[in-house]
Amino acid sequence: MRKYEDSIPLKLLKAREVTMAFFRPVLQEIPLTEQQWRVIRALYEYEELESKQLAELCCILSPSLTGIISRLEQQGYIQRRRSPEDQRRVLISLTEEAKSMFERISPTLEATYQEITRQFSPENMEQLDNLLNKLCQIKP
């Protein structure tokens, strides 16, 4: 068996913690949790999604997403509506307040990405992106 320190899942968790240490202070100012930000970011890009689609895109389990959606709705950041084509489907989208907040905070988060890239190097970032994309495509 591999040594504990050589565990790929452990290294991925450590890498996540290192990168999130850059982003957490920005998210705490809003204040939003990492999961709430992922939901807002996905909805900003995709505009309107069903809960199942949102859970898959954000890598959040459906039961957890239910609570996140409720809290974001209470904060005035998301809205739900029934699909006109199929009343069983509920579509989730951002409010104007959330879109405004996203546009206000995005430059700060982009600057954070730039700082990570500066420290890690553009070449390493590109290589990491390619390798992670390949890793995400393998099947158990």
Mean pLDDT of the chain: 95
Three-state DSSP at 73 gives helix
Q: Is a pLDDT exceeding 90 seen at residue 16?
A: yes
- Give a yes or no: residue 122 inside a domain: no
pLDDT confidence band for 11 (50 / 70 / 90): very high
* Distances 136 to 51, 66, 99, 117 between C-alpha atoms, Å: 22, 25, 29, 21
Q: Are 118 and 127 in contact (CB under 8 A)?
A: no
| pLDDT of amino acid 86 | 86
| pLDDT of amino acid 83 | 86
- Give a yes or no: residue 114 inside a domain: no
**CATH number for position 79:** 1.10.10.10
- Give a yes or no: residue 132 inside a domain: no
| pLDDT of amino acid 93 | 98
Three-state DSSP at 88 gives coil
Give the residue-averaged pLDDT of 106-129: 97
Tell me how far apart the alpha carbons of residues 30 and 109 are, in angstroms, rounded to a whole number.
Answer: 12
- Give a yes or no: residue 41 inside a domain: yes
- Give a yes or no: residue 84 inside a domain: yes
Q: Is a pLDDT exceeding 90 seen at residue 129?
A: yes
Percent of the chain with pLDDT over 70: 100
List the domain range (segments joined by +) for residue 85.
32-107
- Give a yes or no: residue 77 inside a domain: yes
Tell me how far apart the alpha carbons of residues 140 and 127 are, in angstroms, rounded to a whole number.
Answer: 23
| pLDDT of amino acid 139 | 93
pTM recorded for the entire structure = 0.90
Give the residue-averaged pLDDT of 98-124: 97
Task: Dump pLDDT digits (tens) for 42-82.
Answer: 999 999 999 999 999 999 999 999 999 999 999 999 999 99
Count: domains in the chain: 1
- Give a yes or no: residue 79 inside a domain: yes
- Give a yes or no: residue 73 inside a domain: yes
